[in-house]
Amino acid sequence: MTENHTEQTVTELIGKARDRSSWETRLQAIKELENHDTPKTRDVLISLATHDRVYAVKEEAASIANRMNYTTNEGKKVVVTKKDTKYKNSDFTKLFHQVKRELEMEEFDLDVFKEKFSTTNPEMYDVMQYEHKDKFDQWIENRYMNLPKK
């Protein structure tokens, strides 16, 4: 493989690793980045291990970074912090009210709501879809039905 081709591959994988709308795309990309030991790879793996909101992505990025003997700028081993999406209840309330208002929704329609939610805040949608897995629809419906009155 030529150096130019490898650089292009790494650039594409880094783009996928930064895709905030799909934790699955990020996870797959970081697994592939393990085969490319470059300064850019180091930076993106450490960044994801430190800051990603999906715990599975953080964990895998840290694991790969450690297998590749990458360290933080302080020279320390990459460690995964506690599981925290960094979203507060008020973040969900604000977004759900915004989506409801923009859709002018009289009756709740899960599919319509999910579509708007995913385009309004794709990162939050992706993170919560990961967190709630097969109970994601139920979580949305419960949050929506229990929205505080404005």
Residue-wise pLDDT for 132-147, tens only, equals: 999 999 999 999 999 9
Measured between alpha carbons, how far is 23 from 59 in angstroms, rounded to an integer? Answer: 12
Q: Which residue has the higher pLDDT, 81 or 32?
A: 32
How much is the pLDDT for 5? Answer: 61
Give residue 54's pLDDT.
95
Q: What is the mean pLDDT of residues 41-54?
A: 95
Per-domain residue ranges for the chain?
A: 10-68, 89-146
Region 2-16: mean pLDDT is: 85
pLDDT mean across residues, the chain: 93
pLDDT one-digit tens code per residue, 68-115? 999 988 889 998 888 888 899 999 999 999 999 999 988 999 999 999
* Amino acid in the structure at residue 66: N
pTM: 0.85
Note whether 136 and 99 are within 8 A (CB).
no
